[in-house]
Chains A and B, each alone.
Chain A
Amino acid sequence: MGEGVDERIAELEEMARLCRIDIVKMTNAAGAGHPGGSLSAIDCMVALYGTTLRFDTNNPRWEDRDRFIMSKGHASPAMYAILHQIGILDEHDLMGFRTLGSVCQGHVDMNWTEGVDFSAGSLGMGLSFGLGCALSARMDSSERSIWVMLGDGETQEGQIWEAVMAANYHNVSNLRVIVDRNRIQNDDFMDVQMEIGDIGEKFASFGWDVREVDGHDMAALVKVFNWADSSNDSPVAIIANTTKGKGVSFMEDNPSFHGKAPNSQELVIALEELS
Chain B
Amino acid sequence: MSSPSNGGASREGYGKALLRLAEDPRVVVLEADLGKSTKSCYFREQFPDRTISVGIAEQNMMLVAAGMASSGKIPFASTFAIFTERAFEQVRNGIARPGLPVHICGSHGGIHTGSDGSSAQSIEDLSVYRTIPKMTVIHPCDDVSAEELTVQLLGLEGPSYMRTARNKVPRMYDDESKLGLRIGAGSVLIEGNDVAIIACGVMVERAREAAFILSQEGIEGTVVDMHTIKPLDRELLARLSDQCGCFVSVEDHSIIGGLGGALSEWLSTNNPLPLEMVGVRDRFGESGESSDLMKEIGLTLEAICEAARNSVNRKNAA
Contacts and interface: CB of A to CB of B under 8 A. Distances in A.
Interface of B is mostly: helix
A188 interface: no
B146 interface: no
Contact of B59 (A132, A136, A158): A158
Contacts of B75: 132
Interface residues of B, number: 30
A113 B90 CA distance: 21
Given A111-B99, A125-B93, A63 B63 contact: no
B54 A166 contact: yes
A139 interface: yes
B231 interface: no
B213 interface: no
A132 B72 contact: no
Contact of A170 (B28, B52, B63): B52
A122 B98 CA distance: 13
Interface centre among B59, B67, B75, B93 (most CB of A within 10 A): B67
Contact of B94 (A63, A129, A140): A129
B64 A132 contact: yes
A interface, over-half SS:
helix
B99 A136 contact: no
Interface string B43-56: 00000011010110
Given A111-B98, A132-B71, A121 B93 contact: yes
Given A128-B59, A128-B67, A131-B67, A136 B89 contact: no
A175 to B, nearest CB: 10
User: Interface residues of A toward B: which range?
Assistant: 20 to 34
Interface in A130-145: 130-137, 139-140
Given A119-B93, A132-B64, A137 B59 contact: no
A132 B57 CA distance: 14
A110 interface: yes
Contacts of A166: 54-55, 57, 60, 64
A125 B63 contact: yes
Contacts of A159: 57, 59-60, 63, 90
Contacts of A169: 55
A109 B50 CA distance: 28
A110 B100 CA distance: 11
Interface string B82-125: 00000001100110011100000000000000000000000000
Given A119-B97, A170-B52, A128 B89 contact: no
Nearest to A129: B67
A269 B180 CA distance: 69
A162 B61 CA distance: 9
A117 B70 contact: yes
Interface string A169-183: 110000000000000
Contacts of B49: 139
Given A119-B98, A166-B55, A63 B67 contact: no
B57 A129 contact: no
Interface in A163-220: 163, 165-166, 169-170
Contacts of B61: 128
Nearest to A128: B63
B190 interface: no
B65 interface: yes
Contacts of A158: 59
B117 to A, nearest CB: 25
B68 interface: yes
A63 B99 CA distance: 18
Interface in A113-128: 117-119, 121-122, 124-126, 128
Q: Which of B63, B75, B94 has the most CB of A within 10 A?
A: B63
B89 A122 contact: yes
A128 B64 contact: yes
A128 B97 contact: no
B70 A110 contact: yes
B66 interface: yes
Contacts of A162: 54-55, 57, 59-60
Nearest to A111: B98
Residue of A63, A130, A131, A158 with most chain B CB atoms under a 10 A cut-off? A131
Nearest to A163: B60
20 contacts: A110-B70, A111-B99, A122-B89, A125-B59, A128-B94, A129-B64, A129-B66, A131-B63, A132-B64, A132-B68, A133-B67, A133-B70, A135-B67, A136-B71, A136-B73, A163-B60, A163-B63, A166-B55, A166-B57, A166-B60
Given A110-B70, A128-B60, A132-B64, 14 more contacts: A111-B97, A119-B97, A124-B59, A129-B66, A131-B60, A132-B68, A132-B69, A133-B68, A133-B71, A136-B67, A136-B68, A159-B90, A162-B54, A166-B54
Ranked nearest first, the 4 interchain pairs of A and B with the lowest CB-CB distance are A132-B67, A128-B63, A136-B71, A162-B60
